[in-house]
């Protein structure tokens, strides 16, 4: 599979790394376009890919063309490559907030997939939610699924409205987890632990708990009850969190993110 990337930033690099590591493409089959000469040289040297400053060249070389640019650059980039696509090429966009109709109009092409990845994709533990135009074939969907699956897990949704919902949960979700980790580590230091010990305790607790939940068939509420003895330390901590309306605050935070995602895409 020949894959071209327009934009060689962190998420673009994560996808390049995943595609090569999983053997979906060879270095000779990957092209990346970026305006930064130093970035092009870095990607060429590290991954053995072809790098260019010409977006049109990148489009011409790819079976799949990944748009990995910043939202504010979409209009300019799209105008430069509009009309350059032809079937069976697939456009795969990871541009935050850019809706499919906007992409199709800007590119003059309708075989388009829109993806909401998240930061852990950079270490192969990502969650990508994606959708596609009706013109995208089953074969092209398999291309998209294999690329996104190389970065972690992927879920296809039929309606684009679910992308904004996923943005509020899995897209913004790592920041919620990092805030929880920050708060836990700070609390650990407050009661007397060193920061180094606190950080390791918190990181492994989050990793282990997430993996446990992922492998378990039990609901999160059931798992919570499993580790909460009546009258014990965990029960005391959870009671304090509920007094502060922790659950309601999370709901409000996710709702705020969802509404903002809709505003950014309008």
The enclosing domain of 62 has a CATH number of 3.40.50.720
Domain boundary among 112, 134, 158: 158
Same domain, 81 and 144: yes
- Strands in 53-195 per DSSP E: 64-67, 90-93, 112-116, 126-132, 152-156
Same domain, 195 and 228: yes
Provide the residue range defining the domain that includes 183.
173-265
User: Nearest 10 degrees: CA dihedral of 131, 90, 10, 21?
Assistant: 100
Q: Given strand 112-116, what is the order of strands in its sheet? A: 50-52, 30-33, 3-6, 64-67, 90-93, 112-116, 126-132, 152-156
Residue 81 inside a domain? The answer is yes
Q: What is the pLDDT of residue 215?
A: 96
Residue of 150, 135, 71, 68 lying closest to 104 (CA atoms) = 135
Residue 165 inside a domain? The answer is no
Same domain, 26 and 147: yes
Q: What is the pLDDT of residue 266?
A: 65
Residue 258 inside a domain? The answer is yes
Same domain, 113 and 200: no
Q: What CATH number did the domain enclosing 179 receive?
A: 1.10.3730.10
**Eight-state DSSP code of residue 22:** T
Same domain, 89 and 114: yes
Residue 219 inside a domain? The answer is yes
Q: What is the pLDDT of residue 265?
A: 77
Residue of 261, 153, 157 lying closest to 214 (CA atoms) = 153
- Number of domains present in the structure of the chain: 2
Same domain, 99 and 207: no
CB 61 within 8 A of CB 32: no
Domain boundary among 158, 189, 205: 158
Residue 86 inside a domain? The answer is yes
Same domain, 149 and 44: yes
Residue 18 inside a domain? The answer is yes
Same domain, 177 and 217: yes
Distance CA 156, CA 129 (A): 6
Domain boundary among 158, 182, 201: 158
Distance CA 122, CA 59 (A): 24
Same domain, 24 and 143: yes
Same domain, 10 and 53: yes
Q: Give residues with Cβ within 8 angstroms of 25, minimum separation 6.
A: 1, 2, 3, 19
| CA angle in degrees (0–180, nearest 5) for 85-87-90 | 70
Neighbour count for residue 33 (Cβ, 10 Å): 28
Beta bridge partners of 52: 33
Handedness of CA 133, 19, 96, 120 (dihedral sign): positive
**Token output for 198:** 């606190």
CB 159 within 8 A of CB 169: no
Sites in the chain below the pLDDT cut of 50: none
* C-alpha distances out from residue 1 to 89, 138, 142, Å: 11, 15, 11
What confidence tens digit (pLDDT) does each residue in 95-120 have? 988 999 999 999 999 999 999 999 99
Residue 96 inside a domain? The answer is yes
Distance CA 148, CA 170 (A): 14
Residue 163 inside a domain? The answer is no
Same domain, 206 and 114: no
Specify the 3-state DSSP secondary structure of 128. strand
Q: What is the pLDDT of residue 264?
A: 83
Q: What is the pLDDT of residue 237?
A: 97
CB 164 within 8 A of CB 139: no
Same domain, 229 and 105: no
């Amino acid at each position: 599979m020949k894959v071209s990337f327009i934009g060689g930033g962190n998420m673009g690099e994560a996808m390049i790394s995943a595609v090569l590591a999983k053997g979906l493409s060879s270095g000779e089959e990957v092209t990346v376009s970026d305006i930064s000469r130093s970035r092009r040289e870095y990607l060429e040297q590290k991954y053995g890919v072809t790098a260019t400053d010409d977006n049109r060249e990148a489009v011409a070389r790819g079976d799949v063309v990944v748009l990995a640019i910043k939202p504010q650059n979409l209009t300019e980039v799209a105008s430069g490559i509009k009309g350059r696509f032809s079937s069976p090429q697939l456009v795969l966009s990871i541009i935050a907030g850019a809706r499919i109709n906007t992409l199709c109009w800007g590119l003059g092409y309708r075989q388009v997939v829109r993806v909401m990845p998240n930061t852990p994709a950079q270490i192969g533990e990502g969650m990508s939610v994606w959708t596609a135009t009706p013109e995208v074939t089953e074969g092209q969907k398999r291309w998209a699924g294999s690329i996104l699956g190389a970065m972690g897990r992927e879920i296809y949704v039929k309606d684009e409205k679910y992308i904004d919902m996923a943005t509020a949960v899995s897209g913004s979700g790592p920041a919620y987890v990092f805030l929880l980790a920050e708060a836990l580590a700070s609390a650990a230091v407050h009661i007397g632990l060193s920061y180094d010990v606190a950080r390791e305790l918190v990181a492994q607790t989050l990793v282990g708990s997430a993996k446990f939940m992922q492998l378990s068939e039990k609901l999160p509420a059931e798992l919570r009850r499993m580790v909460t003895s009546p009258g014990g330390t965990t029960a005391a901590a959870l009671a304090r969190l509920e007094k502060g309306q922790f659950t309601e605050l999370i709901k409000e935070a996710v709702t705020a993110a969802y509404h903002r995602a809709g505003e950014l895409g309008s």
